Amino acid sequence: MISARTRVFGLIGHPVRHSLSPEMYNELFRRYGLDAVYVAFDVSPDHAERVADAVRTLDLVGINLTVPFKELVLPELDHMTVAAQEAGAVNVVIHVGGTLTGYNTDGEGLVRYLEANDLPVAGRRVVILGAGGAGRAVASALLDRGAAGVCLLNRTLSRAIRAVQALENRFGHVDLDARPLTREAFASVAAQADLVVNCTAGGGADLVASLDIGPLRPGITWVDINYWMDRPPQMDACAAHGLHFHTGLGMLVHQGALAFELFTGHPVEAPVLEAIVRSSHGLATDQGGGA
């Protein structure tokens, strides 16, 4: 029962109606017996500068952020973790007494998923499609786990260059590269890739689908973090080419477990979240052995 004492958490983004987060977190609140509720707020990007004030004014305890607010909210926060600073984006904000602290669990969520599925990161060369907040967070986390090199491809090349420059402050000893997200640029780096991670938003699906994956070596891994797509771009092509394809569901549940602990102090295992999501939506197992 929702009461006047119920603590409110939520997701802020645009669009958000596809999100699995409300089902995931509300079921966890129920299981832990917490007087809390999680709701999705579809907010126009035109109101980005008012998001932080809304969190304070409405006394929201914690929020997740998705596109386009992961970066737009940064100037309004009081504190950020190192991971969030390196990513240049936050996907979790905790509110305590008017003070907002930003975290980024995206990159760590993906790395934990890969490790849980015996997909080592150390020594791997990674191609990341998209250099926004998610792409930068993923790059930082992979490099932190010992990736041998990262190449960021982005539709706006200057954004990829800025992301690489930020990463060089800590990871200047490894191979970092920035290129435009084009068929030609992808073809030039594909043969050396051990892992490809698509971090572009849904609007980039047609461009990603147009890439020629022929130069990729059979047996490598392709991850698409857009878990809400029924048939992510290149999913069928990867299967035909002998690549291991993983949707973003694994990343979602691992970063969600990290966020839930930040929200409530209660640790939760990612498989518990995965079972909740699969049960409520009838989702099938990823191709390529993913969770």
Q: Is 268 helix (H, G, I), strand (E, B) or coil?
A: coil
pLDDT at site 193: 98
Q: Look up residue 19 and give its amino acid.
A: S
In tens, the pLDDT along 3-21 reads 999 999 999 999 998 899 9
3-state secondary structure 98-134: CEEEEECCHHHHHHHHHHHCCCCCCCCEEEEECCCHH
pLDDT at site 278: 87
For 52-64, what is the mean pLDDT? 97
Structure tokens at 200: 């572009």
Distant-in-sequence, close-in-space partners of 98: CB < 8 Å, separation ≥ 6 = 56
pLDDT at 285 over 50: no
Domains of the chain are 7-105+250-289 (3.40.50.10860), 107-247 (3.40.50.720)
pLDDT at 30 over 50: yes
- Output DSSP code: residue 217: P
pLDDT at 251 over 90: yes
pLDDT at site 169: 86
For 107-128, what is the mean pLDDT? 96
Catalytic residue numbers read: 70
Longest dimension (CA), the chain: 58
What percent of the chain shows pLDDT beyond 70? 96
Q: How confident is the model at residue 283 (pLDDT cuts 50, 70, 90)?
A: low
pLDDT at 161 over 50: yes
Structure tokens at 15: 């669009």
